[in-house]
Structure 1
Amino acid sequence: MLKRVFMAPDPGRVRLRFAARAVLGIGLAVLGCQLAGNPLAGTVTGGLAALLALFTVTDPTVRGQAVTTALLPAVGLPVLTVAASLHDRPVARDLAFLAVVGAGVYARRWGPRGHSLGVFAFMTFFIAQFLHATAGQLPRLYAAVLLSVLAAAAVRFGLWCYERRLPPAAVPAPPGATGLARVTTRQAVQATAGAGFALVVGQLVSGQRWYWAVGATWWIFVNTASRGETLVRGFRRVLGTVIGIGLGLLVALPVHGAAVPTAVLLAVCVFGIFYTAAVSYTWMMLWVTLMAGLLYGLLGVLSPGLLALRLTETGVGALGAGLAVLFVLPVTTHAVTDAWIQRALRCVHLCTAEAAARLSGADHADPARRVGELEQLLGRVRLSVAPLVHPLNPMLGRKRRARQVLALLDDCAREIRGLVAVAADPEASHDARLAAACWRVEAAVEALTERGDDGTRPPSATVQAPVEPALAHLHGLERALAELATPLRTPSGSPLVGA
C-alpha cells in the first residue's frame, strides 16, 4: 500500500501541486479568520470551507472552476442558516439533513459543478452539527465562510493557478440514462435511505456525535457508481478510520490541543488528504481521521473514548450504505465497469491520434491534455473494478481476468505517456509508418468496444521491429490492445464481469 501511494505515477506533478496549494490556501484562510477576530468555531468553519473549495471544485476549465467556486457560498450559506436555526428542533433538523443528502447526491447528474455544490451543501450542514452551531453564531460563521472561500480562490486563481500552464482534463461523469435507470437518481434514493438508517442508529449510539454516522454514509457514496464500488469504499473507509484512530492515540492525544504542534500536524494532514485522495481512499481517510482528532483536541474534548465512538459511528454509517446499495434500487457492477472500460479505450485512441498529429507537425494537437483525461478514466476503471480484485472476492476467475485488464490498461497508459513525451520533442521526426500504426490502434479499439457476438477480435500486433521511438510505443500499445481481447471477453463475447 505504501508503494501504491508514494510510487504512483504523477504526470506533471499534479498531485504534489494540488496538495501543496491546498496547504497554502487553507493556511491563508485560517490566518485571515484569526486576523478578522473570529472565535475558534469560526476559524474551524473557515478552514473546512477553504478545504472544500480547493478539494471539491473539479470543472475542466479554469473559468468553470471560478464560477463554481463563486457559487459555493450561494449554496452553503442558506444550508448553514437552516442547520443552525433548527439546532433545537431535532426532528425538523434530521428531516432537513436527509433532504440535503438526497439533493446533494442527485446534483451529480449535472456533472462536476453539481457534484461540488452538493458536497459543499452537505458538508456545511455537517459542520454546523460538528460545532453545534446556533442562530446567534451565524453572522460570524457567514463571515468565516466568505473570507475563506475568497482566500482559497485568491490562491487557486491568482497566486498558484497551475491549470493555466497544464490544462486540466475533463472530469468523467457517471454513465448516463433516464429516470430510475440513471445512476445518480438511484444513488440519491440509496444515499437518503442509508443516511436515514445511519441517523437513527447513530443517535441510539450517541445523542451528541450521531452526525459522524451520516457523514460516513455520505462520503461512502461520493465518487462511486455501483453496488460493488460502494461496498469496497465502505470497507476502505472503516480501515482508514481504524488506522487513523491508532495514529490519533499516538499523535493527537499527546499534543492535546497545543496550538503550534497542532497547527503543524494539521498542515501535514491537509497535505496528506490532497496528495493521497486520487490513489488511495484508505490513506485519505487515515489523514481525515487524524485531522478530526486534532480538531477535537483544539476544541478541548479529545479522549480515547471519543475516538472509539468515532469508529463505532463510522461502522454504523458503512453498514447503512451497505444495506442501501444491496436492497434499495441496486446498481450492478456489470454495466458500470463495462462503460468505464470502453471510455478508457476510446480515450487511448484519441491520445494516439493527437500524438500522431503532433508528430506530423500539427501545432493545434494537444496530446498532454488527453493523457490527463486518460489517467482520470483509468482511475475510474480501477475504482469500478476494485470489487472484483478485492482479496475477499471468492470469484477467482473474474478476479484473475480483472487483474489482467488493469495490468494491460496500465501498459496502454505507459506506452501513451512515452508516445506523448516523444511527440513533445521538437526534434522528433515523422515516420510514414506512424499513420498505419495509428489506424491499427483505432481498429483494435473499435473491435474491443464492439459488443456483438460475431467473434470480432483486434488485429494482431505487427511483428516488425520498430526503429523510431514513437513507433516503439505504438507497437507496444498494439500488443497491449491485442492481449486485452482475452480477459475482456469470454468465448461467447460476454463482458468482463459477466451477467
Structure 2
Amino acid sequence: MFSGFQFRDWLLANDPALSRLRTASRVTLTIILSFAILFAIQMLIVPLPTAAFGLGIVLSIEGGIAVRDKGNSRQLVTRLLGCVASLAVVGIAAGLEDRRLLSDLVFLVVIAIASAGRVFGPRGFAIGMFAFTSYFMGAYFKPSLGQLPYVAAGPVVAVLVGHVVRAVLLPDDWRRDLLRSLESVRGRINQILFKLAALAGCGHIGEADRQELRQLEDRLKEVVLMAESFIPRPPAGVFDGASNPAAELAIRLFDAHLAAESAIVVSFQSLPPFALVHAVIEADKAELATYEEMAEAIKDEPQGETVRALLWLGESRQQLTQAIGEGQASGFAGIDAVKDTAQPEKIDFSFANPLLRSALQITLASALAMGFGLLLSRERWFWAVLAAFLVFTNTNSRGDTAMKALSRSLGTVFGIAIGLVLATLISGQPVIAIPVAAVCIFLAFYFLQVSYATMTFFISIVLCLVYGMTGVLTLDLLQLRIGETVIGAVAGTAVAFLVFPARTRGALDAALARWFQALDGLLAAIGEGKSGFELIALSQKIDACYRDVTVAAKPLGSSWSVVTRPGQIRQTLAVFLSCTYWSRILAKSSKAPAVGDDLKKLIAADLALTKDAAAQGSACFFIERRASRTTGRHLPLSRDGARLGLEMIGSALERLYPQADILPFAPGEAIARSKQG
C-alpha cells in the first residue's frame, strides 16, 4: 500500500504542480458553494427561477476554466465584465422569447461576437464564453422579463464565489507551483529509474520497452517545460550569471533533464547494472563510489558510458532533491518575482487572423447545427449548438476538430449509458445522488486537460443524475441528447473541413518552421562564439517548439486517421526528439570565445541540412523508413560534447530523408560519427 508520501509523489508525477487537481477542486467547490448560497436565498429570502440555478452552475464552470488572466485584480475585472455580458444576453433572450425566429438569429449573432472576442486575448475569450453559455441557458430555461432581477442572482453569486475560491481559498502561488513542479520532475525521473531497474533485472530490452522509455522521456520533457515556466527570468529571458539563485535553479533543472535523457539513450545500447540503478534510487554513496572506480576502469567500453550516465543522473537527482529541500524550507525566498512587462499584441481584425476565421467557422457550424437540431426537436436543439460551438475550442486544425467531435460524441454515448444505470439505481435517493454528481464533476474537470472524451463522459453522467433527481429522465430524452450531440459534432467537423480548412499538415508545417528556426538560431549563436545561459535559453526554445510539433502531429497518428500509419509518425517524432536532445548537449558543452575551423565546418553543414529540411516542411512525416538497426555511440561524458552534439544533430537531420541505399537508424537513437573526419 502507498504511504502518504508515496501517494503524493505519485500524484505529482502524474499531475505536475497539482494543476489539474486545483482546477477540478476550484470548479467543484465553486459549484457547491454557489448552489448552496442560491438554495439558501430560495429557502430564506425569495423563490428563485430555475434559470438562476442553471446560470449559477454553468458560470461557476466558466469562471474556473475560461478566466485565464494573470493576477487576481485582472481576473476580477474579467469576471465582472463577464457577469455584465451574462445579464445582458439573458435579458435579450427573455425579451425575444415570444419571437423565436428572431431569438434564434440573435443567438447566432451572440455566437459570432463571442467567438470573435477571442481576438482580444484571454479576457475576450472569457467574456465570450460567459455570453454564449448565458444566452444558451436563457433560451433553454425561458425566464420571463419579470423574473430577470431574480435570475441575476445566479451570475452574481457565481462570479463572486468564483473569485473568492480562486483568490482566497485556492489561490495561485508561483513559488508553490515551482516547488511542486520540481517534485514532479523528480517523480518522473524516478519513473525512468524504476523502469531501468526492471530492465536491468531481466537483462533484456525489447522494442516495447524502448517505446515506453521514449514515452517517459516525453513526459519528463513536458513537466520540465512547466517547471522552467515558473522560474522568474529577466525581461530579456537570459540570466546574467550563475550566482543568481534563479539561474542556479535553472541549471540544476537543465542538468537533471539532460542526465535523465542521457541515461535513456545509453541504456538502449547497454543496460546498466541493477545494483547501480538501485544505488542511484537509494542515493547509496558507498555503492556509487564503487561504480565511479569501475567507470574509470572501463571508460572506453559501452558499459562504461552507461555507468557514467547513471552516476551523472544520480548526482543531478541529488542536486535537484537539494533544491527541492531548500524550496520547502525557504519557499524560494531568494528568488524575486519578475513583473509582467509583456506588451499586448496588436489586434488583427483581418481574415488573415486564424481567430477570426475560426469565429466564422463556429458561427456557420452553429447555424448548421441549429437548423438540423430544430428538425429533431424544437425544445432541445440547444444541445446541437453547444456541441458545434465547443468542438472548435482549443483546436488548431481540421484534424483536431474532428478528433474533438469524435471524443465528444463517444463520451456522451458512454456517459449516458453509465449515467442511466446509476440514475436508475439511486432514483429517489438525493442523499446519494448529489455526492455522486459532485464526484463526477470533480473527475470531469480533473481529466479535462488529459482527455476531452473522459470529461464529456463524466458530465453526461452528471446530467443523467440531474434528470433523475428532477423526475424528467426518460430513454427518449437521452436518445435525443445523443442525437443532438452527434448533429453538433458532425456540423462542426463538416465546417472545419469545408470552410477556411486549417489542414493538419498546414499546422504541422508552421510548427516545424518554428522548430527549424529555433535550431538555426542555436547553431548560428554557437558559430558567433556565444555560450552559457544564452545557449541554454535557445535550447529550451527548441524544447518548447518540439512540444508544439508533437501537438500538431497528433491528428496524423490517431487511430481514425487513414492518411498514414501511426508508426511512421512516432518514428519521425523520434528523429526530432533525438535532434532536440543533442541540441541540449550542444548548448551545455559549447565554450566561448573561440570556435575552431572543424566546428565551423560542422555548423555550416548542419545549417545547410536545416535549410534543406525546413524547405520540405512536413513531408518527412510521410517518408517510408526501412527496418532499424542499432549502432555504437560515445556520449560527451567522455568526449568533446560540442563536436559530438553537432555531429549527432547532422545525423538526426539526415535521417529525416534517408538515402535509398542507407538503412535509417532506430527511432530515438543518434548515429555516433565521432571517428569520422
Tell me the TM-score range normalised by the shorter chain: 0.7 to 0.9
Aligned to 1:70: 80
Deviations 1:7-52 (A, max 9, x none): 9842212112221232222222222222222645423321221111
Change (3 A) 1:69 1:488: farther
Contact 1:230 1:321 in 2 (8 A): yes
Aligned to 1:204: 375
User: Which AA in structure 1 matches 2:473?
Assistant: L
Aligned to 2:107: 97
Give the alignment of 1:200-239 within 5 angstroms: 200-239=371-410
Deviations 1:241-279 (A, max 9, x none): 111111111213333364322321221122122211111
Aligned to 1:253: 424
- Bigger radius of gyration: 2
Cα distance in 2, alignment partners of residues 345 and 29 from structure 1: 49
Aligned to 1:25: 30
Deviations 1:305-356 (A, max 9, x none): 11111100011111211221222222222222233455578789999x9xxx
Which of 34, 47, 53 is the equivalent residue of 2:63?
53
Structure 1 position 286, deviation (Å): 0.8
TM-score computed with the length of structure 1 as normaliser: 0.75
Which of 491, 504, 508 is the equivalent residue of 1:333?
504
Which of 385, 392, 396 is the equivalent residue of 2:560?
392
Aligned to 2:569: 402
SS at match of 1:180: coil
Aligned to 1:243: 414
Aligned to 2:614: 451
Deviations 1:122-181 (A, max 9, x none): 1111122333333233212211211111111001011111344337969xx99x977223
Aligned residues: 449
Deviations 1:67-96 (A, max 9, x none): 322321122111111122222221111001
Contact 1:80 1:124 in 2 (8 A): yes
Deviations 1:343-397 (A, max 9, x none): 578789999x9xxxxx9799xx999xx89x949x83x655533321122222226
Aligned to 2:318: none
Contact 2:579 2:648 in 1 (8 A): no
Aligned to 2:171: 161
Structure 1 position 414, deviation (Å): 9.7
Aligned to 2:21: 16
Change (3 A) 1:382 1:366: closer
Give the alignment of 1:316-395 within 5 angstroms: 316-343=487-514, 374=544, 378=547, 381-395=549-563
Cα distance in 2, alignment partners of residues 232 and 272 from structure 1: 21
Contact 2:512 2:614 in 1 (8 A): no
User: Which AA in structure 1 matches 2:614?
Assistant: R
SS at match of 1:290: helix
Aligned to 1:356: none
Aligned to 1:3: none
Cα distance in 1, alignment partners of residues 393 and 41 from structure 2: 34
Structure 1 position 280, deviation (Å): 0.9
Cα distance in 2, alignment partners of residues 32 and 53 from structure 1: 17
Contact 1:177 1:183 in 2 (8 A): no
Task: State which drifts further: 400-409 or 94-103.
Answer: 400-409
Task: State which drifts further: 35-44 or 20-29.
Answer: 35-44
Cα distance in 2, alignment partners of residues 481 and 292 from structure 1: 55
Cα distance in 2, alignment partners of residues 125 and 274 from structure 1: 23
Cα distance in 1, alignment partners of residues 519 and 439 from structure 2: 36
Cα distance in 1, alignment partners of residues 500 and 434 from structure 2: 44
Contact 1:253 1:302 in 2 (8 A): no
User: Which AA in structure 2 matches 1:331?
Assistant: A
Task: State which drifts further: 251-260 or 113-122.
Answer: 251-260
Which of 441, 465, 468 is the equivalent residue of 2:635?
465
User: Which AA in structure 2 matches 1:465?
Assistant: L
Change (3 A) 1:383 1:210: farther
Give the alignment of 1:24-43 within 5 angstroms: 24-37=29-42, 39=48, 40-43=50-53
Aligned to 1:497: none
User: Which AA in structure 2 matches 1:12?
Assistant: A
Give the alignment of 1:426-437 within 5 angstroms: none
Cα distance in 2, alignment partners of residues 489 and 106 from structure 1: 45
Cα distance in 2, alignment partners of residues 445 and 287 from structure 1: 50
User: Which AA in structure 2 matches 1:158?
Assistant: V
Aligned to 1:182: 353
Cα distance in 2, alignment partners of residues 446 and 262 from structure 1: 64
Change (3 A) 1:91 1:335: same
User: Which AA in structure 1 matches 2:159?
Assistant: V
Cα distance in 2, alignment partners of residues 321 and 453 from structure 1: 31
User: Which AA in structure 1 matches 2:147?
Assistant: Q
Change (3 A) 1:42 1:477: farther
Cα distance in 2, alignment partners of residues 272 and 292 from structure 1: 14
TM-score computed with the length of structure 2 as normaliser: 0.57
User: Which AA in structure 1 matches 2:37?
Assistant: G
Structure 1 position 59, deviation (Å): 2.8
User: Which AA in structure 1 matches 2:502?
Assistant: V
User: Which AA in structure 2 matches 1:136?
Assistant: G
Change (3 A) 1:477 1:404: farther
Cα distance in 2, alignment partners of residues 264 and 10 from structure 1: 24
Contact 1:73 1:145 in 2 (8 A): yes
Change (3 A) 1:202 1:271: same
Structure 1 position 191, deviation (Å): 1.5
The alignment yields a C-alpha RMSD, in angstroms, of 4.5
SS at match of 1:181: coil
Contact 2:85 2:127 in 1 (8 A): yes
Cα distance in 2, alignment partners of residues 444 and 69 from structure 1: 50
User: Which AA in structure 2 matches 1:339?
Assistant: A
Change (3 A) 1:237 1:481: farther
Contact 1:346 1:445 in 2 (8 A): no
Contact 1:190 1:328 in 2 (8 A): yes
Cα distance in 2, alignment partners of residues 482 and 27 from structure 1: 57
Change (3 A) 1:178 1:149: closer
Gaps of 5+ in 2: 1-10, 179-225, 231-343, 526-530, 594-599, 621-631, 661-677
Contact 1:66 1:157 in 2 (8 A): no
Aligned to 1:266: 437
Aligned to 1:313: 484
Gaps of 5+ in 1: 1-5, 354-358, 420-430, 492-499
SS at match of 2:68: coil
SS at match of 1:289: helix
Aligned to 2:161: 151
User: Which AA in structure 1 matches 2:379?
Assistant: Q
Change (3 A) 1:282 1:434: farther
Aligned to 2:54: 44
Contact 2:416 2:461 in 1 (8 A): yes
Aligned to 2:120: 110
Contact 1:33 1:148 in 2 (8 A): no
Cα distance in 2, alignment partners of residues 414 and 465 from structure 1: 12
Cα distance in 1, alignment partners of residues 454 and 87 from structure 2: 31
Contact 1:273 1:288 in 2 (8 A): yes
